[in-house]
Amino acid sequence: MRLRHLLSLLTILTSSPLGWAARPMVTDDARIVDDKSCQVETWLKANRGSSEYWALPSCNFTGNFEFAAGGAVTHAEGQNTTTDLVLQGKTLFKTLQPNGWAWGLVGGVASHPDISKDMLGSVYAYVPATFSFRNDSVLVHTNLGWSKDRLEHNNVMTWGIGGEVEITSRTWLIAEGYGENQGRPYYQMGLRHWIVNNRVQLDATYGNRTDGSESWFSIGLRLLSPAFLP
């Protein structure tokens, strides 16, 4: 029965157009999955000395609330495999129109069950905003937020700014910078390409810390569904 449901979902994911998401950018956009629809984002992030394998499904059950639940498995050289779990909710207060702007609110929890039994390893919230130019061919995203690490007992301010530029009808150039109010920030750049327009998307990025100490490469696959939820 579970296998049949999974195959049905994969069939739905490739059968009809759907809207927006931010993967692989850390700076989030002020857009959510379409009403009664879902998406599945998977990606590999290859760091120096470790590799992360992520899967993050999300759905919009009510029309203006996107719920995401997923996680990662990390393999590090000479160390045990660790896992990460993420639960997140997102809503919008103003939706995006061509040459307009939008904003919303995101909140979530992230835990590391291999490190701590406290499932609320860290909590976070931020305000995403998106600005559209040239009839959606240029998009600018900004984030401002807060995070509390319950293991380290500290609070930090988080920020991000990113952009998307349409190169062709199926290919986008993406770039961003992001960080906290302490430590050096990060940057990331790459490409998104629609294999099946508005249904199946492939992306690839290169990122690093501004001091060159934490480089990585990522490649991801994103599948989007039509409205199918009750």
User: How confident is the model at residue 34, as a pLDDT?
Assistant: 93
Does residue 99 contact residue 88 with C-beta atoms inside 8 Å? no
Enter the tokens of residue 51.
């590799």
Q: Which pLDDT band holds residue 3 (cuts at 50, 70, 90)? A: very low
- 227 in Cβ contact with 26 (< 8 Å): no
Q: What is the SS3 assignment for 3?
A: helix
Side-chain half-sphere exposure of 14, counting CA atoms within 13 A: 10
**Domain count within the chain:** 1
What 3 state SS string does 131-174 have?
EEECCCCEEEEEEEEEEEECCCCEEEEEEEEEEEEECCCCEEEE
Asked whether residue 179 is domain-assigned, the answer is yes
Q: Which residues face 107 on adjacent strands?
A: 89, 125
**pLDDT above 70 (res 186):** yes
Average pLDDT, the chain: 87
Say if CB 102 and CB 95 are below 8 A apart: yes
Greater confidence, 221 or 12?
Answer: 221
Residues 180-203 have a mean pLDDT of 94
Residue 77: per-residue pLDDT = 80
**81-103 per-residue burial string, b: 16 or more CB within 10 A, e: under 16:** ebebebbbbbebeeebeeeeebb
- Domain contains 230: no
pLDDT band at 83 (very low <50, low <70, confident <90, very high): confident
Cβ proximity of 102 and 31 under 8 Å: yes
Greatest Cα pair distance in the chain: 51
Q: How many helices (H) and strands (E) does the chain have?
A: 1, 12
* Residue 22 included in any domain: yes
pLDDT at residue 20 in the model = 35
Question: Does any domain span residue 229?
Answer: no
Q: Is 135 left (phi over 0), alpha (psi -120 to 50) or beta?
A: left
Range of the domain at 50: 2-224
Of the candidates 176, 20, 174, the residue with the CA atom closest to the CA atom of residue 95: 20
Mean pLDDT confidence for 13-27: 54
Looking at residue 152, which CATH number applies to its domain?
A: 2.40.160.40
65: amino acid identity, one letter: F
Contacts of 222 (CB under 8 A, 6+ apart): 21, 23, 39, 40, 41, 42, 200, 201, 202, 203
pLDDT of residue 31: 95
Looking at residue 219, its pLDDT comes to 97
Q: What is the pLDDT of residues 98-136, one digit of tens each?
A: 999 999 999 999 887 765 555 557 899 999 999 999 999
The reported pLDDT for the residue numbered 24 is 84
**Strand pairing report for 200-209 and 216-224:** antiparallel
pTM of the model: 0.86
Scanning the chain, the segments in alpha helix (DSSP H) are 2-13
Span 147-169, average pLDDT: 91
